[in-house]
Amino acid sequence: MKLSRLGERLSATTGTLELMRDLGEALDADEPPIMLGGGNPASIPAVEDVFRRRLMALTQQPETLARVAGVYDGPRGDTVFHEAIARLLCETFGWPISAANVAITNGSQNAFFYLFTLFGGTYADGGFKRIFLPLTPEYIGYGDIGVEEGMFVAGRPRIELLPDGLFKYRLNLSGTKVPDDIGAICVSRPTNPTGNVLTGDELAQLAAIAKARDVPLIIDNAYGTPFPDIIYSDASPVFADNTVVVMSLSKLGIPGLRTGIVIADENVIRALAAVNALFALAPNSIGPALALELVQSGEIVAIGKNHIRPFYEQRAHLALAWLRAGLDGYPCHIHKPEGAFFLWLWCEGLPVDSADLYRRLKARGVVVVPGHYFFPGMTDDWPHRRECLRISYAQDEKLLRRGLEIIAEEVVGAYERGRN
């Protein structure tokens, strides 16, 4: 049985497939590995209690449960939830939006497939437009979800070395020519995989370029504010006519409900609704129903502020200290953790590439994600791409510490073997 050209590309091994396969294998294993690779959120008891309470309330409302589980929503999702999200964002940030600016998708990964397909690829005039990723490394899930090949072009960052073995990627528009053939600009904030948070000035630069090119600036806000608010500094998001903000319920602690939230111009929302109808008929209703009262009351913001952000910020400090201790004396740098829940480790001059290191770690029962997957759209052979690992610190604290010890042992061992 043969597959189409598109079928072959979509079914090929990708970073996203490898990551999700690792997660599935871990769930099925008799002795699960230490999972420091995936984007699964941590188990935070206070947050789990909130969603347990909401789920129990739904089961005790037969009419509501019958509606959300037994009836299709419209292709944009539940209207009441749209209104609640719009009101929350108006009150929190003063955004000039209404329910007409909101659509629901089956997870934010699903939303990005739709958006990249709408703005990237072949246009009616025969021209081809690409999605510009101005600050790589960037989210692993972007690179392989375009329908057409060659849909991404990336900018190489400027690396700023910081004290105490830290570093930070900076937007490098002066050293990166913005291509003429772009259909959209896309950034994640906080950035997955590095935990980088673009500054307000950097966002303003990108917004100005997008406006001048008459293309959207797509901001992946899966870890951002007002929920789940995994940002360790003040960083209010922006919204304008040409901005598309993509949010999610996953990092609140309910990734299995696959609920993405898109805020955009009404024309973009109508286009998304059409694609939703084509590919999914309607988005899932359970996620919005579970979160509705939390959004209406504002409790969803308090959950992030009081429970989620403090949990991850404390965990970031611990993980940073443990990893630094294990790598002391070696040319390793860790990206300054400003948000999300990952450490991005750069092993400068590492004698083996990150894919080899990934395999050695997996053989020892520790799963991470090798760095080369996080540079979609970058075609030049930059050695830095093969010197990095993404490490999640959302795991149980004892397992995290042991996993970081093993990572340090393998990295040190690779340097020592390279010297001999």
Fold of 73-299: Aspartate Aminotransferase; domain 2 (3.40.640)
Q: Is the pLDDT reported for residue 175 higher than 70? A: no
CA dist., res. 409 & res. 393, Å (int)? 18
Average pLDDT of 113-118? 94
For 267-282, what is the mean pLDDT? 94
CA 70 – CA 108 distance, rounded (Å): 23
Q: How does pLDDT run across 88-112, given as a tens digit for each residue? A: 999 999 999 999 999 999 999 999 9
How confident is the model over 198-223, as pLDDT tens digits? 988 899 889 999 999 999 999 999 99
Measured distance between the N- and C-terminal CA atoms of the chain, rounded to whole angstroms = 50
Note whether 131 and 152 are within 8 A (CB): yes
The answer to whether the predicted template modeling score (pTM) of the entire model surpasses 0.85 is: yes
| Residue-averaged pLDDT of the chain | 91
- Per-residue pLDDT of 3-61, as tens digits, reads 777 777 777 766 566 655 665 665 555 678 899 988 889 999 999 999 999 999 888 88
| 348 Cβ contact list (under 8 Å, min separation 6) | 331, 332, 333, 387
> 5-47+303-419 has which CATH code?
3.90.1150.10
322-377 per-position pLDDT tens digit:
999 999 999 999 999 999 999 999 999 999 999 999 999 999 999 999 999 999 99
Parse the chain into domains and list their residue ranges.
5-47+303-419, 73-299
Sole residue written with tokens 């964002």: 89
The pLDDT value given to residue 13: 66
> How many of the other CB atoms lie within 10 Å of CB of 57?
14
Write the pLDDT tens digit of every residue in 379-394.
888 999 999 999 999 9
Residues in the chain: 420
